[in-house]
Amino acid sequence: MKCKRFRELLFDRAHSDVPAGERAAAAEHLAACPDCSAQAAATGKVLD
C-alpha cells in the first residue's frame, strides 16, 4: 500500500468503512511507515 492510499483510508478507518482486504494492507503499511504512523496518531487524537 502506498502512503496516498493509506491516508485516503484514514477517514474511512475512523468510521469502520475500510474493506477487510485493505485493513491488513493498511496495518502492514502503518507498521512500516513512520510518516503515516504519525498521521494516524494525529488523526486518532482529533477523532477521540
Residue 18: CB atoms within 10 Å: 17
The model carries a pTM of 0.68
pLDDT score for 35: 94
pLDDT number for residue 48 = 46
Q: Which of 20, 23, 28 is nearest to 10 (CA)?
A: 23
Q: 1-48, pLDDT tens digit by residue?
A: 899 988 888 876 665 677 778 888 888 999 999 999 998 888 875 554
Domain segments of the chain as ranges:
3-47
